[in-house]
Structure 1
């Protein structure tokens, strides 16, 4: 339809008159309005709408509204993602429990499959959440790499604090003993996200993912080591012929992976009893790290990508029937 094509051309002219950071949102909103006018066969309305935008001055109130929408979208993503990570953790744990209850009377390896099932499902759901966050992050406020990293980590810390306070209020013992490891994880994760975001802003996305993943892995590993070292001694006396309640520090780099897989990977340490002690003391935290890491990296890297302005008419607008 000729009228629609003229209107699309006018909207392209109108969009180019606005700042780059606002063009994508404005183009999307105007294209939707144009589609509605075309659907109701309001041809002159289409021309008036597009023409008025093409010739009008750039309005500061409209820019303010677009910036406010972007700001609210950013706050929504950063504040809602950590509770969703907790939901992922709980859902995966419940699913693991149901699967174990069904398998334990049928196969001998049901108990050995508990932790791999929990961690595998947590990672899968965490990646799914990261894909959703990646799309949303491209339409959020763009700031420096360090503010972005802090914007990701601080809501996670607030969610962790609220959860620990809730558990402590319900009488759960030893809840706050996990705080040092969690604080260390948050600090090191901030550094990893900062580095990944800085590389992504330079267009080095492969390096950003590599550095981010390695940094997040180190952060989780060191946090688990701290939690184990501060709660389980390196040596303990043997009582009544039972294995000592201690964990040899030589296997420290493997403790995170032991929590995820309940395995020593064919190595003599950690022993079966040490694996039991480690997973008894540190179990939920490594799963939470696994749930949060994909989303945190995805946001830090996606938010660092340069904004791309959508052009009205890039997707065809159906002609009215």
Structure 2
């Protein structure tokens, strides 16, 4: 396959896919004149090197859906054949030098006699050389066609062209009617974005989503902290008491009150801040907490309370025979037992 047939093959492939040169120029970013030169069989681009020409040809072949490696091999083979033919041709004789001195009359006459005897033999010798040259070119042309037919034979891995399709490109005349190209898009799908751009788009989406989630979480934390700061504390007790309490409450046993004194009148105790109405039956205990303490009270063996008591909290219990009071901070308790105020039962802790 020569360079003209290779360009014709590229042109037919592009027109079969209904791709215009303007579209190919935009997609490949290769100038239109370069693509037109390829399709016309002119692969000698003046402002491009041989490496750039092969790169353009490889990209254009891949864009048309052809095997770029095989197209480059065909281009190299056709280029070698063209160079070989150029070396085998007989170069034209150089024009005589005009500055040559005029010969003497005797020498010129002798040369005229010799030239009159040579025309017939020179014509015969030149005719033989031309015949041999033509035979040599004919043999090279046939050998190149057989080589191209072998290279273009269909293979299981790369069925690009069958041998029967090859003569259609080599025997085609240079001037042929151009095929009209419709304005419709190609039937084959175009691949304008690579996998790298798709991965980049997915990565940008994930980054944006992560930033949005982090921003929402930060806003939620700020709102939660602000609400906690705005709400008033439920426990307004001094911090000193909270710091003095142990992690695990320790109970100090308060003496069991089990005697039954004679009933007496109601004694309001202003100094203690509590009062008790005792009617003389059973056992009655009124408790006021001056500080925070852990308190446990049982009446006749039944547990009535077992929790943390806040300051200024007043508790009153009655039983038939026995009331047991246990506190982690006995100094914090003020008690009235059967209408009688009691002293401090123990110390702190």
TM-score range, shorter chain: under 0.3
Q: Under a length normalisation based on structure 2, what TM-score does the superposition of the two structures give?
A: 0.18
- Output the TM-score relative to the length of structure 1: 0.19
Instruction: Point out the structure with max Rg over C-alpha.
Output: 2
**Hey, which of these two has a bigger chunk of helix by percent?**
1
Q: Select the structure with the greater relative contact order (CA < 8 A; seq sep ≥ 6).
A: 1
Which is strand-richer, 1 or 2? 2
